[in-house]
Amino acid sequence: MADWIQLRVKAVQNETLESKTYTLEPTDGQGLSYEAGQFLTLGLIHEAMKSDVRIR
């Protein structure tokens, strides 16, 4: 994943029975810059999967 920032799940908070909030942090310890209203494209790599999954 060139030019991607690697993040790890720091915390998961149950909001309702059907929703959760995931708090992410960079694996390199650097901060992230962003602007309000910006969207985030996630590329997920799971141990059981053979390829990346992208969520927008």
Reported as a single tens digit per residue, the pLDDT across 3-21 is: 788 888 889 999 999 999 9
Nearest to 56 by CA among 45, 42, 46: 42
Are 20 and 12 a contacting pair, CB within 8 Å? yes
What pLDDT does 16 receive? 94
Which CA distances in Å does 46 have to 10, 13, 36, 43? 16, 20, 29, 10
Strand partners, 53: 44
Place of tokens 């310890």: 29
Domain boundary assignment for the chain: 1-31
Conformation bin of residue 10: beta by default, left when phi > 0, alpha when psi is -120 to 50: alpha
For 19-46, write each residue's pLDDT tens digit. 999 888 888 888 888 888 888 788 777 6
What pLDDT does 1 receive? 44
